[in-house]
Amino acid sequence: MNAAEKAYNVIKKKIDGAETALILGSGLGALADEAKNRKEIFYEKIPGFAKSKVPGHSGKLISGTIASRKVIIMSGRIHYYEGHPMAKLVLMIEVLAKMGVKKLIVTNAGGAVNRSFKVPSLMLISDHINMIGDNPLIGGAHFIDLSDAYDAEYRKMVKAEAKKLKIQINEGVYLAFSGPSYETKAEIRMVRTLGGDAVGMSTVPEVITAKKLGMTVIGISCMTNYACGVTGQPLSHKEVIESGKMISCDFIRLIKSILSSKKF
C-alpha cells in the first residue's frame, strides 16, 4: 500500500470528499472558519503528513460547505525548506485526488516584485517559474504540459468576480525559491529580469502535481510585503502574518464569490 492510500484510508473516516479543494497560505487561515458542517483532522493524525513549523499554518484538513459548495480545506501546508522531500510535500495533493477533487484553489503569501503592486493586495497567478531546485515528478517520465497550469478560463472568471466586488486584483507571474531565507537584492533584480512579479517559497510543487493528476487550478497570491530592495525596509515573517490579516476580508469575499460562481 503506497503512502497516499494509507493516508486516504485514515482521512476518509473523518473527512467528507468534495470536487473542490483549497490550500490556505500564511495568515489566510481565517477562511476555514467560514466552513459550515465542518469536520476536521489534524495533520499529525494522518500517516505520512506533518505539521508545519511555520506560524500562520494551523495544520488541519477540514471538510465543510462554503457558499453552498462542498469543499476540502488544507489549513496550512508544509514547505520544502522545512526539510521535507518533494514526495511528502505533495502527498496532500495525491490524497485530494483520491477524495474526488477536480478543482484546486491554491493560495500563498508572496513578496511583491512588481513596483506597481500595492501591499497588501491580491495577485492572480498567471504562470510560475520554478527556482526551488527540485521537481515533484523526478523519478518518473511524467512529461506533463504546463502551458495552462493556471486555468485561463477560470482566471477570466476570477477577474470578473473581483471587479463585481470592487476588489483590486493584479495578475502576474509567481517565482518560487526554496527559502527559508528571504531573497537578496541581487536575486530580486534577477526575478524582475526573468519576468517575475512576485516571489514566494511554496505552491509550485503542489500545482505541478495537481496538473499531473488532471486538476484545474486557480492560484491567488496575497502580496503581504515588498520583496527585498523594493522599499529598503527589512523583511520579517511577522509582517507577512499581519498583512495577511489585513487583506483577509477581501480574500474571503473573493473566494466565496468564486465558489458561488456558476462558471466554476
H or E segment and range at residue 40: strand 36-42
Residue 183 grid cell: 531573497
For residues 175 and 180, what is the distance between their CA atoms, to the nearest angstrom? 14
Extents of the domains making up the chain: 3-260
Q: Collect all residues with Cβ–Cβ distance below 8 Å to 77 and sequence separation of at least 6.
A: 23, 24, 25, 52, 57, 92, 202, 206
Residues serving a catalytic function are 26, 57, 79, 81-82, 109, 201-202, 225, 237
Tell me phi and psi for residue 61, to 5 degrees.
-105, 125
Q: Which CATH architecture is the domain 3-260 placed in? A: 3-Layer(aba) Sandwich (3.40)
The label of the residue with cell 466554476 reads 264
Tens of each residue's pLDDT in the chain, 264 residues: 599 999 999 999 999 999 999 999 877 788 999 999 999 999 999 999 988 877 766 899 999 999 999 999 999 899 999 999 999 999 999 999 999 999 999 999 999 999 999 999 999 999 999 999 999 999 988 899 999 999 999 999 999 999 999 999 999 999 999 999 999 999 999 999 999 999 999 999 999 999 999 999 999 999 988 888 788 777 777 777 777 777 889 999 999 999 999 999
Cα angle value 59/264/173 (rounded, 5°): 65
Tell me the residue type at 127.
D
Residue 119 grid cell: 501591499
